[in-house]
Structure 1
Amino acid sequence: MPNTRVKWIISQRKVKTKCKNTSGPYSAMQENKFFELLSHQLSYVKIDRSNACLMSKHTAAMNFPTVDTALFLLMMLLPPLFISCDPTTLKQSLDPSPFPSNFLFGTSTSSYQVEGAYLSEGKGLSNWDVFTHTPGNIDDGSSGDVAVDNYHRYLEDIDLMESLGVNSYRFSISWARILPKGRFGDVNSEGINHYNKLIDALLLKGIQPFVTLTQFDSPQEIEDKYGAWLSPESQEDFGYFADICFKSFGDRVKYWFTINEPNMQVTLSYRLGCHPPAHCSQPFGNCSQGNSEEEPFIAAHNLILSHATAVDIYRTKYQKDQGGSIGIILNTLWFEPISSSTADKLAAERAQSFYMNWFLDPIINGKYPAEMMNIVGSTLPKFSSRDKEKLKQGLDFIGINHYTSTYVQDCIFSACKPGPGASKTEGFCLQNSQKHGVPLGEPTTLFWLNVYPQGMWKIIKYIKERYKNTPMFITENGYGEICMPNSSTEDLLNDVKRVEYMASYLDALITAVRDGADVRGYFVWSLLDSFEWTYGYTARFGLHHVDFATLKRTPKLSATWYKHFIAKHKLIKSQSPKHTSKHPQF
C-alpha cells in the first residue's frame, strides 16, 4: 500500500547530512517556517524533527547516497502532491511525473510593471506613462517610471530565474520603446538592442523566451492621433509593430503571444474606466468621456483583428523559416452557478461567452458566440469577408491567465440587484464571490481573489472541450496580497499563503494533465514584486521580495518551494521511462 510505504520511509529514514543555516536569503528563520509548513502538510505521519533538517539552497545539486534517502528528502521538501490525504492523491504522487518531458516551468512579468527607464534610450511615452502621471489614478500615487528597474538589472533577474531552475520566462515588449511614435516615427534601435541583449542572456542560461507583444501598454501617440483601439487604424499599427519584432527577434524567439488579456483590457479601459484611456459612462463609472455600452465591443473587435493581422504576418513571412508558434492570452475566471437551477447553469455558460469566448470564438471559429449574438448582436461590429479570411489564421496555442473563480446568478429569468455582470452589455449574469454569505474559496486581502483551486481544473477542462484541446500554457497564476501598514519584511518573506495557493493550484493542474488536457507550460505571476497597475506598489505577487526603496531582491519562501517543486519533477522525469505529450508538437 502506498500510504504504508510513505509512512515507513518518513518514520524510519534518518537524514545524515547536517545542514548549515545561511545568513543569506535562505535564512534559518525561513528554513524553520518552511519545515513547519511541510510538517503541517504531512501531518498524517510522524516526523522526528531532531533527525531531519531542511536542506540548504544547494540541496538540488547534492548527490544522494541512496534512492530511499533521496525519496525521503523529496517527500519532505516537495509536498505539493501530498496536500491531500486522499489515497488517490498519495498513489498518484508515487507515479512518474504527470508532466510531459518537454513541459516548461517559468515565471512572468510585463514591461511597464518591471522595466522602469520610462524615458531612457529613446523610449517614447506610453499610455500608462501618461495615466500614472495624472493625480488620483493610482492608489498610492506612484508610477512605473522606475518600477523595479529590470531594464538595467535584467542580468540580476535572470540569475534569480536560474536559481529557481525555470526553463522559460514570459515577458512583454514595450511597444513605445520600439516605436516611440507608433508607425508615425522611426524605429528606436536602442530599444531593439535592449531586447536582443535580454533574449541572448536568457538563452545563454538555457531559459526559453516567451514574448508578449503588448500587455496593456501602447504608445501614447496612437491614442492621441486616432484613439488607439477604438479605431481600425490600430490594426495596421499593431501589425507594423509585430512585423518589426518578428524580424528582429524571431530567429531566437519561438513562442509569441500577440496580446495579453484583451478581455480585461476592454473591460477596465472602456467599460469601467479605471485603466487608460479611462473611458466609461454611467452606471459603470464616472468618466469625462466614453460609452460603456458600445466602446468595449468596438475595442474588442479591433483587438481581435489586430491579433489576426499579426498572426497573418507571422504565418506568411516568418513562421516557416523561424520555426516558432503564436497565440494569444486571455484572462480566465471559472463561473460557478450559484444554484443547480437550469437558469443559473445557463448564466454560467453565458458569462464565459461574454468574457473569454468573446475573443476565442472569433479567433478559433470565426464568429462571436451565439449567446452574445442573441443579446447584443445589434451592438457587435461585423466581420467583413476580408476579416473572416484573416481570422482563419487562428492561433497555435492559448495562453491562460487564471487566478480565481466566482459564483454566477441568472438575471434574465430572475430579478438581480445591480452588480458586476448583471447588465445586458455583460450578459445578464450577476457575479458574486459569496453564496448565502459563504465565500467561494478562501478570501484574501485582494477583494477579487478567492482561493478556489478547483476552478483551475474546471477552466482547463472547459477550454479543452470547447476548443478541441488546443494546446495551452498557464501564462499567469499567482497569489497576491495587500501590504498592511504593520507588515514586516519578515512577514512578506514568509509567504506561507502563497506556497499553499501554488501547491493547490498546481495539484489541480496535475489533475487536468492526467485527464488529457494538452497543457505545455506553467508560469508563476510573478518573478518579482512589481508595479501592480492601479494598486501601485501596495500589492505584491512576487516570488522575490523587492525593497522598493533600494530595489534589493530577496527570495521568499515561495521561491524556495517553487525551486524544489521544479527540481522534484526534473528528478522524477530523469529516473522514469520517457514520458512525452500525446499531442503533436509545434
Structure 2
Amino acid sequence: MGSTGREAEVARADFPDGFVFGVATSAYQIEGARREGGKGDNIWDVFTEDKERVLDRSNGDIAVDHYHRYREDIELMASLGFRAYRFSISWARIFPDGLGGKVNEQGVAFYNNLINFMIAKGIEPYATLYHWDLPNNLQKTLGGWISEKIVDYFALYAEACFANFGDRVKRWITINEPLQTSVNAYGIGVFAPGGCEGETARCYLAAHHQILAHAAAVDVYRRKFKAAQGGEVGLVVDCEWAEPFSEKAEDQIAAQRRIDFQLGWYLDPIYFGDYPESMRERVGNDLPTFSEKDKEFIRNKIDFVGLNHYTSRLIAHHQNPGDIYFYQVQQVERIEKWNTGQKIGERAASEWLFIVPWGLHKLLNYIAKKYDNPPIYITENGMDEEDDQSATLEQALNDTTRVGYFKGYLASVAQAIKDGVDVRGYFAWSFLDNFEWAMGYTKRFGIVYVDYKNGLARHPKASALWFSHFLKVIATVCIHHNNHRCAV
C-alpha cells in the first residue's frame, strides 16, 4: 500500500551533484498584460470573456502581473536558492496572429529581458513553447489543434524561438500536457477553446497533431540549431500513477490501460512508432493512424521526458463506468479508497488531488523500465489550497501540508534515483499563486503567496522557506510581515 510519506525526511545530499532544483509557471497564468507589447489574443483570452466558464468569473488579463514584475519575481526566486526556472513563452506575443509571417519584436524583447535577467541571477532558463495559450486566430481560421496545418505553424513558431533565444536557452519543452489540451480543451470543452462537448473524436485528432507538431519542432532544432546551440528538446506529459485496486488480473490490466491512456498515448508513438494497443482496441476508428512516413518522422524525436505529476488513483476494471466518454472508453473506475475504507491519501483543495508520494516512485520506475530509462525532469509537482478569504496573512503563509507534500514527493524521487532511474531535475509547481484555469483564483498552488487584495504583493510561504533551507541558502529570507519573521 505504501506510507503517506508525511514522515519522510529528505536532504539535498540525497540527490546527485548537478541535479537541478527549480520552480515552474506558465505565461497565461502569471503574465497578464493582455493588450500590451503587441500581443495578440490567445484562446484563453477569448474563452474567459464568457464569465460562466471560470468558477470565480475571472481571467488572466492582469493575472499576477509578472509581465511588469518579472525582475522582482526573479530576484525572489534567486534569493530562495533556486537555480532553474521553467517558464512558458506566449505564442501570441511572438506571432500575434499565429501565422509566423512577422515576428513581434516587442514580444521577443520581453522574453530576452526575462532570460537575460534570469541568467544574471544565476538561474537557468527552461522554456516551454506551448502551455495551452494558442493564438486565437489559429483557432478561428483553422480550428486550432484539430487541423493538420497547425503542425507547420507550430514549427515556424518554434524556429523563431530557437533563433531568438536558443543562444541562452539550452533546455526546451515543446508542448505542456498534450493530454489536457486533447481531453479538456477539445474533447470535453471545459478548457479553451471550449465548445467541443460531445465531439469526442476531436480529442484524438488534437492529440495526433500535437505529437506531429512536437516532432516537427524537434526536427527543426536538430537540423538548424543543435550543432551551434547544443541544447535539448523534450516533451512534457502528465500522468497520475494508477495503482491496481486489487490482485485480480482484470484490475491489474485496467491499471496498465489507464497509464496507456495518459502516458502511452504520447510516448508510445515517439518511442515505438504507434499508439498503445489498448487504445486502438477501445477507441477504434476515432484514433488516427500514422503513415509509415509519419512513424519514421516522429521516432525518437525526444531528448528528455518532462513529467508533470501530482497524484495517484486506485484503478479497477469497470465494464461501463458512469463517467465522461474519455473514461468510459477506458473501462476503468477511479477509486479514492481501499476496500478497507482507508483513503489513498489526504486530499488537497482540488477534488482530484490526493497526496500519495509513493505513486511518484512507482511511476518513475515504470517510465524507466518501459522506455529504456530516458532522462527525466519532473517539470511540475505540487498541491493546492483553497483561497481562504477569511485567513490572515500569517495563516495563509503557514502552508505546512504543502511542506509535507514536498518532503514526501522529493523522498520518492530520491528513492527512484537510488533505483537507477535517470531523473535529472525537479520543478515545484508553482512559484506563484496564479490564475488556475477553470478554477480561476480560487485555488492556490504557489510557494509564494500573492495578495490579490493588496496590490499583488508577494510573500514567501513556509514551503518557500523550507525549500530555501533544503537548498542550503545562506542568505536571509524575510517575510515582510508585521512581525518581520525571518528564516536564516
Scaled by the length of structure 1, the TM-score of the pair is 0.77
Change (3 A) 1:326 1:243: same
1:541 and 2:448 are equivalent in the alignment? no
Determine the structure 2 residue equivalent to 1:300.
207
1:400 and 2:307 are equivalent in the alignment? yes
Q: Is the Cα contact below 8 Å between 2:51 and 2:58 reproduced in 1?
A: no
Change (3 A) 1:300 1:213: same
Residues of 2 paired with 1:568 and 1:83: CA distance?
23
Secondary structure, counterpart of 1:313 in structure 2: helix
Residues of 1 paired with 2:116 and 2:358: CA distance?
38
Residues of 2 paired with 1:528 and 1:422: CA distance?
32
Deviations 1:459-506 (A, max 9, x none): 111111111110000100111011234322222101111101111111
Determine the structure 2 residue equivalent to 1:384.
291
Change (3 A) 1:268 1:416: closer
Determine the structure 1 residue equivalent to 2:55.
139
Secondary structure, counterpart of 2:350 in structure 1: coil
Q: CA deviation at 1:394?
A: 1.7
2:151 to 220, 229, 235: 235
Equivalent residue letter for 1:372: M
1:317 and 2:187 are equivalent in the alignment? no
Bigger Rg, which one: 1
1:563 to 456, 464, 468: 468
Deviations 1:414-471 (A, max 9, x none): x6444686412xx211212233453211112210111000111011111111111100
Determine the structure 1 residue equivalent to 2:338.
435
Determine the structure 2 residue equivalent to 1:502.
406
Change (3 A) 1:557 1:420: farther
1:410 to 303, 308, 317: 317
Residues of 2 paired with 1:466 and 1:218: CA distance?
32
Secondary structure, counterpart of 1:140 in structure 2: coil
Residues of 1 paired with 2:81 and 2:434: CA distance?
21
Equivalent residue letter for 1:464: A
Determine the structure 2 residue equivalent to 1:14.
none
Change (3 A) 1:434 1:204: same
Equivalent residue letter for 1:127: I
Deviations 1:331-390 (A, max 9, x none): 110011111100000000000111111001111221111211222232211112331222
2:197 to 281, 296, 300: 281
Equivalent residue letter for 1:183: L
Secondary structure, counterpart of 1:346 in structure 2: helix
2:65 to 140, 149, 158: 149
Q: Is the Cα contact below 8 Å between 2:365 and 2:421 reproduced in 1?
A: yes
1:208 to 124, 130, 135: 124
Equivalent residue letter for 2:253: L
1:451 to 341, 344, 355: 355
Equivalent residue letter for 2:334: Q
Secondary structure, counterpart of 1:439 in structure 2: coil
Residues of 1 paired with 2:130 and 2:321: CA distance?
37
Change (3 A) 1:120 1:419: closer
Change (3 A) 1:300 1:419: closer
Residues of 2 paired with 1:356 and 1:299: CA distance?
16
Q: Is the Cα contact below 8 Å between 1:421 and 1:428 reproduced in 2?
A: no
Determine the structure 2 residue equivalent to 1:163.
79
Residues of 1 paired with 2:326 and 2:386: CA distance?
25
Secondary structure, counterpart of 1:237 in structure 2: helix
Q: Percent identity?
A: 43
Residues of 1 paired with 2:64 and 2:314: CA distance?
36
**What are the ranges of 5 or more consecutive residues in structure 2 without an aligned counterpart?**
475-488
Equivalent residue letter for 1:435: W
Residues of 2 paired with 1:313 and 1:537: CA distance?
37
Q: Is the Cα contact below 8 Å between 1:421 and 1:431 reproduced in 2?
A: no
**What are the ranges of 5 or more consecutive residues in structure 1 without an aligned counterpart?**
1-80, 283-290, 570-586
Secondary structure, counterpart of 2:59 in structure 1: coil
**1:262-281 maps to which residues of 2 (within 5 A)?**
262-281=178-197
1:247 and 2:163 are equivalent in the alignment? yes
Residues of 1 paired with 2:327 and 2:56: CA distance?
30
Secondary structure, counterpart of 1:221 in structure 2: helix
Residues of 2 paired with 1:536 and 1:467: CA distance?
36
Moved more, 332-341 or 433-442: 433-442
Secondary structure, counterpart of 1:354 in structure 2: helix
1:358 and 2:274 are equivalent in the alignment? no
Scaled by the length of structure 2, the TM-score of the pair is 0.93
Q: Is the Cα contact below 8 Å between 1:105 and 1:521 reproduced in 2?
A: yes
Equivalent residue letter for 2:461: K
Q: Is the Cα contact below 8 Å between 1:254 and 1:324 reproduced in 2?
A: yes
Q: Is the Cα contact below 8 Å between 1:526 and 1:542 reproduced in 2?
A: yes
Residues of 1 paired with 2:114 and 2:421: CA distance?
32
Higher relative contact order (CA 8 A, sep 6+): 2
Q: CA deviation at 1:526?
A: 0.8
Q: CA deviation at 1:568?
A: 7.9
1:220 to 131, 136, 140: 136
1:475 and 2:379 are equivalent in the alignment? yes
1:368 and 2:368 are equivalent in the alignment? no
Secondary structure, counterpart of 2:306 in structure 1: strand
Change (3 A) 1:445 1:184: closer
Residues of 2 paired with 1:129 and 1:568: CA distance?
39
Equivalent residue letter for 1:336: E
Residues of 1 paired with 2:435 and 2:100: CA distance?
29
Determine the structure 2 residue equivalent to 1:83.
7
Change (3 A) 1:139 1:416: closer
Change (3 A) 1:216 1:514: same
Give the aligned length: 469
Secondary structure, counterpart of 1:210 in structure 2: strand
Residues of 2 paired with 1:146 and 1:400: CA distance?
29
Deviations 1:267-308 (A, max 9, x none): 1112221001214335xxxxxxxx02x111110000000001
Secondary structure, counterpart of 2:274 in structure 1: coil
Secondary structure, counterpart of 2:333 in structure 1: strand
Q: Is the Cα contact below 8 Å between 1:420 and 1:430 reproduced in 2?
A: no
Secondary structure, counterpart of 1:181 in structure 2: coil
1:553 to 447, 451, 458: 458
Residues of 2 paired with 1:418 and 1:310: CA distance?
35
Deviations 1:526-570 (A, max 9, x none): 11111111111111011111111311101111111001111189x
RMSD of aligned alpha carbons: 1.9
1:104 to 20, 41, 44: 20
